[in-house]
A and B are shown apart, each in its own frame.
Chain A
């Protein structure tokens, strides 16, 4: 897999932005989806109540996770699904491998699952001689290019159709220069059709797991989860612990919110319910923690577990739109990734909470009302206290300049002016200041307001 982990978000974003025409196109494509989301959400008068209800249901879930998990497990077993618990990515991958090995299966088809990306399942299985094909078209393209997804809903949104045509030419033998999306899709479909027909095992992710019934729902637009699952003799579902909802009727809220928030569609083309194995089929479900219970224990950040992975915060985030998902160097990118990733590895992801202007648009589009921008602010406080601020290069230096000058040293107006010119990060008056690279300095006036006021206004007690 192409790696980009030695650079921080700022450096990776700078590299992405060098091709400005591409950035404009990327920004426009995602803004178009944000606009579709706005139109879809404004057609529903009760939209804001739906968000409120979804948020409350998810609060209930994460507050009573223990009970719901046990209820879900009992119902899964009742339905004939084999349940596994994985503490971390390694355990998850071992479980998948052991299931496949027991059946002597060497090839598996997988529908979209960010969790298995997070666990690096494909690499793990490939090292053990098991081939995995991602059947979601966007993920399939990313897999061919040996690159992680840049967006959780639109995995290859950063690629232009000509680049995809080039990849298909190289890997699937299409005619050189072919870039028509319909024709390219037909080629992929032909290749994938053969995959679906020949794979004995299929793995899917889970969008919603219903505790009261022991069923799970997978939402796709391509029907690829169904193709894989229906043709398999071993069906595996991997889910994070937080994907639960208490009752089936709650789907009426979440399914209405998910697709509208994600792409502006009223609903995904397929909302597939899986409940029990067919005759002769084996069904497994793996419940994965991988840091989720640790996040649950962080009072300020536990609400991040409400996320239903719609990607709406990415589409609306101007930083994401200008910098591309791969600049976040984490499976989940964008604003939600920036509040989830530090929990997984604070040192490695110390830069991500700073990859934001704290504009707050993310929190406003979030269908489960996660206070994303407030959590970004809070992560910054944690990262500084834990000593990882220095990992965010530019910030480390500039922020230190701030803090080295104790506020008490500039309590008089005269000192404030001098301190200000030497320390405020965006106007430090020297040519090494990043401000000056593409922006002029503010023009310094002859006198400050305080000086003018002292001269012109009556002194007051």
Chain B
């Protein structure tokens, strides 16, 4: 099995630690991982702003970079969902369709494909999970609070395998943080208020770290935490799952 590592553009530029942790964690679990160097962006920011018709260049490039792999894994639920929902190609629709069915967010790849039951990880801190909406309601990484359906949580299951880690319970377990792509600048006031309220939920329930399968949410929450000189840190879930003594 060879996995193509898809590192979203902003993760590559701003959060290389999360990308490295993803790579090293997969290797630790015995996976053959390759990072295609010519990758850029999945096209989501354009598409979500209403410019999906201009994202074909991104789609074609994505197909070129990733169609050969058995699986494609990314430490970003949002970008994975975009590829799953919107990657199309007039010239290579068969390849596009193949990619849509074999692209996975890291957490679901660990729980559903690798079926990880234990991890050699140690992280002695109180951690709050921030569910990204695309991970939760798009990829179903956990049960959605609105539905009358049995609860489950893939990230929680993985964090349960980390020694020393204590998960905090939130008042609103799956409320949106307000990042929302261009929403975060187009609707700056609402975006920041939503982010502040998410931070407060984690703070008052004792979290030292906020983790998520999406760095876009974390980048937004971190911006708010830093501005307010908070001691609470954000960390991508890959970095916790890959943390050792």
Residues of A within 8 A of B (CB): 9-10, 13-14, 17, 20, 23, 27, 31, 38, 41-42, 44-45, 47-48, 316, 318-319, 322-323, 353-361, 363-365, 377, 380-385, 389, 392-395, 398-399, 402-403, 406-408, 410-413, 416-417, 420-421, 424-427, 433-435, 437-445, 447-450, 452-454, 457, 460
Contact = CB atoms under 8 A, between A and B. Distances in A.
A48 B147 contact: yes
B11 to A, nearest CB: 7
Given A408-B57, A440-B226, A447-B16, A316 B188 contact: no
Contacts of B145: 38
Interface residues of B, number: 73
Contacts of B178: 318-319, 357
B209 interface: no
B182 A425 contact: yes
B94 interface: no
Given A393-B186, A433-B185, A443-B14, 17 more contacts: A48-B148, A318-B175, A322-B197, A354-B50, A356-B180, A359-B176, A360-B137, A381-B50, A381-B51, A398-B182, A398-B186, A399-B46, A399-B49, A402-B51, A420-B10, A439-B227, A460-B34
B224 interface: yes
B197 A13 contact: no
Contact of A322 (B133, B194, B220): B194
Chain A residues touching B, majority SS: helix
B189 A359 contact: no
A135 B148 CA distance: 35
Contacts of B117: none
Interface stretch (B35-43, B97-105, B121-129): B35-43
13 contacts: A353-B50, A356-B183, A364-B146, A384-B50, A389-B49, A394-B187, A402-B49, A403-B54, A408-B57, A424-B9, A434-B185, A445-B16, A452-B16
The 4 A-B pairs of least Cβ separation, nearest first, read: A439-B223, A357-B180, A407-B57, A380-B50
Nearest to A18: B189
A319 B189 CA distance: 10
Interface in B153-185: 172, 174-176, 178-185
A17 B190 contact: yes
Contact of B224 (A20, A438, A443, A454): A438
A385 B35 CA distance: 36
Interface string B109-129: 000000000000000000000
A355 B187 contact: yes
A407 B41 CA distance: 8
A424 B10 CA distance: 9
B19 A449 contact: yes
A322 B227 CA distance: 21
Nearest to A461: B34
A67 B223 CA distance: 56
In this complex, which of B16, B146, B184 has the most chain A Cβ atoms within 10 angstroms of its Cβ?
A: B146
B182 A435 contact: no
Interface string B127-146: 00000010001100000111
A196 to B, nearest CB: 39
A438 B133 contact: no
Contacts of A23: 193
A342 B172 CA distance: 31
A411 B186 contact: no
Interface in B38-67: 38, 40-41, 43, 45-55, 57-58, 61
B235 interface: no
Contacts of A450: 7, 12, 35, 37
Contact of B43 (A47, A353, A377, A407): A407
Nearest to A388: B50
A363 B41 CA distance: 28
B148 A42 contact: yes
A360 B7 contact: no
B149 interface: yes
Contacts of A439: 192, 195, 220, 223-224, 226-227
Contact of A398 (B19, B53, B185, B220): B185
Contacts of A14: 188-190
Contacts of B188: 10, 14, 394, 434-435, 437-438
Contacts of A364: 137, 144, 146-147
B222 interface: yes
B46 A427 contact: no
B187 A359 contact: no
A395 B181 CA distance: 11
B50 A383 contact: yes
In this complex, which of A392, A412, A424, A450 has the most chain B Cβ atoms within 10 angstroms of its Cβ?
A: A450
Contact of A13 (B52, B180, B189, B226): B189
Contacts of A363: 137
Given A357-B176, A439-B223, A10 B187 contact: yes
Contacts of A353: 50
B146 A316 contact: yes
